[in-house]
Amino acid sequence: MSFESRHTDDAREARVERGFDLDARLASREAVDLRRDLAPVDRVGPRARTAPDPKGQPAEWTEERLVLASNDYLGLAGDPRLAEAAAKTAREVGAGAGASRLVVGDTPAHRALERDLAATKRTERALVFSSGYAANVGTITALDPDAVFSDELNHASIIDGCRLSGADVEIYDHCDPDALRAAMRERAREVDASGESWLVVTDTVFSMDGDVAPLAAVCDAAEDFGAWTMVDEAHATGLYVDGGGIVQREGLSERVDVQLGTLSKALGAQGGYVAGSEPLVEHLLNTARAFVFSTGLAPPAAGAAREALRIARADRRRDRLWDIVERTREGLEALGYEVLGETQILPVVVGDRADAVALADRLHEAGLVAPAIRPPTVPEGTSRIRLAPTAAHTRADVDRCLAAFEAAGTELDLR
């Protein structure tokens, strides 16, 4: 053995002894069925070729499959109009921002997108972040609340933002404004809350159950206790009135203090945003570390997102999406499946973890990409297939999906 090899082995052993035995950590995840692999696709769209995780090697593609697991709800990620907008912005502005936006990374592409987002969300201003995750973490920590009241099924980025903020975090029962009121009432009794800043945070559309927060009642509760309301419209932006989200659908733009979302789902691009008052945006661009200390969103992504927002506001893709969603939901229920939610996200509840995995395997064999969602992502006994039809799917695609579910359900005796 060479000196270099011996030295490398010794160094690796030393690292393991100091607590970074990553093989053991991975093995422990695998033992409880939590080990994950990447799942490459050759393109983003309603149909794509897939491949087993190639690790560091080139992918070996399978035949084309019907993709029903994407968050590209309006089918815009592969739209040539977005590609052209991104290319045009790259030619005119640059492929990257080059720096933090507080240095020299603030470009016309960012400003134009933010003006359009503010108009859509009916706010004074908007601010674009590099991702929705960065927007959540950056905003909650910059607001620095004394207490946060958070729905129990909020996204991981909200949870991490709450933890990093150092606030006292009160978790209230999912979509239950009475539980929210009780939590705020209890805190007001237990501590001297005079002068405290309270923040109520909720997703509007929840990604695993496909349900919608009772937003007006949440606003009522927050206002009664003098709290601010912050909502994450990640799975709603672009899908409702004039390209807005649930806040716009419910006419609550004046009552929600912080509107946040992503540009990477229905808008098919990349990035996150916060929309609100002029003082809110000015405060965030000065104090949100995820904004201040990060290179600005790549200008081509901003250009593509702006074009996607224009399309979402102008054409009939939303109507096509809801037609495909309703056709899929009704077909699955007619087959005897339980489908949760009321949105474009269709959680098909199976229950048992092993049954859900078996169903996902049969669907894969039938040419569908529709993975099983299991605990701890969802509660025990509620394992499911999470379907997300898009506006780019056709009625023939829906028929193919339903035929696969019918055959698999019969074979596995699930209905």
For Cα atoms 153, 155, 159, give the angle at the middle one, nearest 5 degrees. Answer: 90
* pLDDT at residue 1 greater than cutoff 60: no
Same domain for 209 and 110: yes
pLDDT of residue 252: 98
Domain, as residue range, for 381: 34-77+317-412
Same domain for 48 and 102: no
Same domain for 358 and 239: no
Same domain for 247 and 127: yes
Q: Report the Cα–Cα distance between both ends of the chain, in Å, rounded.
A: 61
pLDDT of residue 13: 62
| 132-143 helix and 278-287 helix, angle to the nearest 10 degrees | 100
pLDDT of residue 214: 98
pLDDT of residue 195: 83
Q: What is the mean pLDDT of residues 215-236?
A: 98
- pLDDT interval class at 194 (50, 70, 90): confident
Helix, strand, coil percent content, the chain, rounded in steps of 5:
45, 15, 40
Q: How many structural domains does the chain have?
A: 3
Q: Out of 20-34, 242-256, 361-375, 385-399, which region has the weakest mean confidence (pLDDT)?
A: 20-34
The pLDDT tens digits for 119-129 are 999 999 999 99
Of 110, 121, 155, 235, which residue is the catalytic one?
A: 235
pLDDT of residue 190: 83
Residue pair 329/68 in contact by the 8 Å Cβ criterion: no
pLDDT of residue 6: 60
Share of the chain above pLDDT 90, in %: 86
Rounded-to-integer distance, Cα 401 and Cα 399, Å? 5
Which residue among 267, 283, 314 closes a domain? 314
Same domain for 390 and 245: no
Query: Is 237 buried (19+), middle (13-18) or exposed (0-12) by CB count in 10 A?
Result: buried
Catalytic annotation on 88?
no
Q: Out of 35-44, 123-132, 247-256, which region has the weakest mean confidence (pLDDT)?
A: 35-44
Backbone angles phi, psi at 171, to 5 degrees: -95, 125
Give the chain's mean pLDDT.
94
The pLDDT tens digits for 84-93 are 999 999 999 9
Which residue among 260, 279, 314 closes a domain? 314
List the CATH number of the domain containing 51: 3.90.1150.10
The pLDDT tens digits for 304-346 are 999 999 999 987 899 999 999 999 999 999 999 999 999 999 9
pLDDT of residue 34: 82
Of 131, 157, 207, 383, which residue is the catalytic one?
A: 207
Same domain for 291 and 236: yes
Q: What is the mean pLDDT of residues 213-241?
A: 97
Same domain for 148 and 119: yes
Same domain for 177 and 49: no
Same domain for 228 and 274: yes
Q: Residue 247 in 3-state DSSP?
A: helix
* pLDDT at residue 384 greater than cutoff 80: yes
Rounded-to-integer distance, Cα 333 and Cα 349, Å? 11
Catalytic annotation on 235?
yes
Q: What is the mean pLDDT of residues 125-135?
A: 98
**Structure tokens of 176?**
């239950």
Of 110, 121, 155, 265, which residue is the catalytic one?
A: 265
pLDDT of residue 4: 60
Q: What is the pTM of this model?
A: 0.92
Catalytic annotation on 155?
no
User: Are β-strands 338-339 and 346-351 bridged in parallel, bridged antiparallel, or unpaired?
Assistant: antiparallel
Which residue among 258, 289, 314 closes a domain? 314
List the one residue out of 3, 7, 69 whose CA is nearest residue 39: 69
The secondary structure of 255-310, three-state, reads CCCEEEEECCCCCCCCCEEEEECHHHHHHHHHHCHHHHCCECCCHHHHHHHHHHHH
Q: How many CB atoms lie within 10 A of CB 135?
A: 30
Spacing of C-alpha 228 from chain mean position:
22
Same domain for 24 and 111: no
- The size of the chain, in residues, is 415
List the CATH number of the domain containing 111: 3.40.640.10
pLDDT of residue 37: 87
Same domain for 230 and 140: yes
Cα separation values, 67 from 91, 222, 401, 405, Å: 32, 40, 10, 14
Backbone angles phi, psi at 86, to 5 degrees: -65, -45
Same domain for 51 and 141: no
- Give 310-318 contacts, CB < 8 A, sequence gap 24+: 310/116, 311/74, 311/76, 311/79, 311/81, 312/74, 312/76, 312/238, 312/239, 312/243, 312/266, 312/267, 313/120, 313/242, 313/243, 317/74, 317/75, 317/76, 317/391, 318/74, 318/238, 318/239, 318/240, 318/391
